């Protein structure tokens, strides 16, 4: 027993090194905060359509179908990278896609869509960002998948990529609709 005492520093070192290696290898992006809203009911909202200020869309209006909520804004740089992928994805008509135009103004937002294509069935206009806060949005773009019962089943932080759409969104959709 005594003879092995010299191994103690080595063991301590190995334990510390293992912690460090774990932190390096797990490939964790500290900006991706896991949402507590997954598997929770989507928050209530009642927002006007971006293109029709007179028409309001409520959470209840979207019950009964699996739908996507994509948070975007005309001022958002990353949304520009994401947008072509979303436009292409929308052509599949895999599910209704609703936009949440977050802390934006109607005119530049509509011009933005006119210029780049509009993948959305409708965009909800969240001028003061309150609905965004209720969805726990802290960076734009963010994307949620909400099931037929109005429960949030998936959240993606940052720009959607073809990998995410093909590898995560479509399989989840098959599961939720199947």
Nearer to another protein, 12 or 46 (CB): 12
Query: What is the smallest separation between the CB atom of 136 and another protein, expressed in angstroms?
Result: 4
Query: What is the smallest separation between the CB atom of 145 and another protein, expressed in angstroms?
Result: 18
Query: What is the smallest separation between the CB atom of 43 and another protein, expressed in angstroms?
Result: 9
Helix/strand/coil for 142: strand
Residues paired with 67 in a beta bridge: 146
Q: Is the peptide bond before 141 cis (omega within 30 degrees of 0)?
A: yes
Residues paired with 100 in a beta bridge: 71, 124
Q: By CB under 8 A, what part of segment 97-156 binds another protein?
A: 103, 128-129, 133-136, 138-139
Nearer to another protein, 19 or 60 (CB): 19
Q: By CB under 8 A, what part of segment 9-48 binds another protein?
A: 9, 12, 19, 23, 30-31, 33-37
| C-alpha–C-alpha distance, residues 79 and 167, integer Å | 20
Distance of alpha carbon 6 from its chain centroid, rounded? 52
Nearer to another protein, 125 or 135 (CB): 135
DSSP secondary structure letter of residue 3 = G
Structure tokens at 96: 């209704």
User: What φ, ψ does residue 80 adopt, rounded to 5°?
Assistant: -65, -35
The residues of the shown chain that bind another protein, judged by CB under 8 A, are 2, 5-6, 8-9, 12, 19, 23, 30-31, 33-37, 103, 128-129, 133-136, 138-139
């Amino acid at each position: 027993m005594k003879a092995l005492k010299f191994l103690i520093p080595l063991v301590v070192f190995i334990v510390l090194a293992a912690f460090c290696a774990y932190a390096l290898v797990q490939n964790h992006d500290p900006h991706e905060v896991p949402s507590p809203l997954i598997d929770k009911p989507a928050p209530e909202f009642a927002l006007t359509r971006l293109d029709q200020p007179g028409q309001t869309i409520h959470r209840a209006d979207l019950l009964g179908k699996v739908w996507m909520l994509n948070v975007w804004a005309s001022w958002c740089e990353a949304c520009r990278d994401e947008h072509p992928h979303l436009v292409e994805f929308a052509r599949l008509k895999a599910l209704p896609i609703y936009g949440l135009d977050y802390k934006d103004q109607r005119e530049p937002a509509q011009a933005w869509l006119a210029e780049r294509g509009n993948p959305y069935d409708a965009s909800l206009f969240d001028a003061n960002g309150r609905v965004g806060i209720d969805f726990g949005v802290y960076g734009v773009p963010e994307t949620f998948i909400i099931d037929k019962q109005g429960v949030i089943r998936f959240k993606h932080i940052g720009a959607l990529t073809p990998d995410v759409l093909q590898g995560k969104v479509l399989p989840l959709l098959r599961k939720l609709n199947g």
